[in-house]
């Protein structure tokens, strides 16, 4: 009797995100909402906050979880520049290692929360600290903390935020600026574009 062929069950596409603060980070509280029956979102763990230390934690996570065996996976290292020259140099120093390991660096200046702010305005302001960005958010929505679940609050305006973020990036590139030093900027939209692409695979 001929054996029946067993159809291979493909895993759902996977996005791995490494950010500061692990499960207490703004990034965690935001991106966890994108995990669905069609898409997995996983967060790399570790207690480092410097770019190299975070990358080391992420590489260990990739090996431990056998991430490279996944059929559809994208890996993101999400970093704030803090408008700090030393930190920016540290980010640039890990670019080649990230490229070799197919890890995409996503930066925001001065902080991830600039992504939230772009949901509300075409922001041409320059902020000299992360706290200033958070204070600006408070002016719009009231009290804010990094552990707030902002997804439902801002999701109706996400397409606008994408457009603004892309416009800021395009303006910087056209002006010959070093994007990572541009204030403000955020490339968070690139993760959302990948999420959209992965969700389309099941349609």
Rounded alpha-carbon distances, angstroms, from residue 12 to 56, 137, 141, 195: 26, 35, 35, 12
In this prediction, residues 155-165 reach a mean pLDDT of: 96
Q: What pLDDT is stored for residue 7 in this prediction? A: 46
Residue 2 has pLDDT above 90, yes or no: no
Q: Would 77 be classed as within a structural domain?
A: yes
pLDDT band at 202 (very low <50, low <70, confident <90, very high): low
Threshold 0.85, pTM exceeds: yes
How confident is the model over 107-131, as a mean pLDDT? 90
Find out whether 83 and 24 touch, Cβ atoms under 8 Å: no
Distance separating alpha carbons of residues 63 and 164, to the nearest angstrom: 36
pLDDT in tens, 56-97: 999 999 999 999 999 999 999 999 999 999 999 999 999 999
Read off the pLDDT band of 6 (50, 70, 90): very low
Q: Which pair of structure tokens corresponds to residue 67?
A: 């991430």
Helix-, strand-, coil-residue percentages of the chain, each rounded to 5:
50, 15, 35
* Summary mean pLDDT of the chain: 91
Q: Could you tell me if residue 7 is inside a domain?
A: no
Residue with the bigger pLDDT between 78 and 126: it is 78
2 within some domain: no
**Burial class of residue 56 (count of CB atoms within 10 Å of its CB; 0-12, 13-18, 19+):** middle
- pLDDT at residue number 21: 75
Percent with pLDDT over 70 in the chain: 92
Given pLDDT bands bounded at 50, 70 and 90, which one contains residue 122?
confident
Domain assignment of residue 146, yes or no:
yes
Report the pLDDT value the prediction gives residue 3, as an integer from 0 to 100.
52
Residue 8 included in any domain: no
Q: Mean of the pLDDT values across residues 140-159?
A: 94
pLDDT digits (tens, 9 = 90+) for 17-70: 999 876 678 999 999 999 998 999 999 988 889 999 999 999 999 999 999 999
Q: Determine, yes or no, domain membership for 4.
A: no
Residue 6 lies in a domain: no
Q: Is the pLDDT of residue 173 over 80?
A: yes
Residue 116 in any domain: the answer is yes
Domain that holds residue 147: 14-200
Tally of domains in the chain: 1
Q: What's the rounded Cα separation, in Å, for the pair 188 and 61?
A: 21
At residue 11, the pLDDT reads 83
């Amino acid at each position: 009797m001929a054996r029946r062929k067993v159809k291979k069950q493909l895993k759902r596409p996977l996005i791995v995100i490494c950010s500061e603060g692990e499960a207490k980070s703004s990034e965690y509280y935001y991106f966890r909402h994108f995990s669905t029956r069609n898409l997995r979102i996983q967060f790399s763990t570790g207690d480092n906050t410097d770019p190299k230390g975070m990358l080391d934690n992420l590489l260990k996570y990739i090996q431990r979880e056998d991430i490279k065996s996944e059929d559809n996976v994208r890996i993101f290292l999400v970093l704030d520049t803090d408008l700090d020259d030393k930190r920016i140099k540290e980010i640039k120093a890990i670019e080649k290692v990230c490229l070799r390991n197919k890890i995409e660096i996503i930066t925001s200046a001065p902080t991830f929360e600039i992504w939230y702010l772009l949901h509300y305005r075409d922001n041409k302001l320059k902020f000299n600290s992360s706290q200033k960005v958070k204070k600006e958010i408070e002016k719009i929505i009231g009290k804010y903390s990094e552990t707030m679940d902002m997804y439902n609050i801002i999701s109706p305006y996400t397409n606008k935020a994408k457009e603004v973020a892309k416009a800021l990036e395009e303006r910087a590139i056209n002006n010959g600026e070093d994007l990572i030093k541009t204030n403000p900027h955020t490339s968070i939209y690139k993760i959302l574009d990948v999420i959209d692409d992965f969700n389309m695979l099941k349609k």
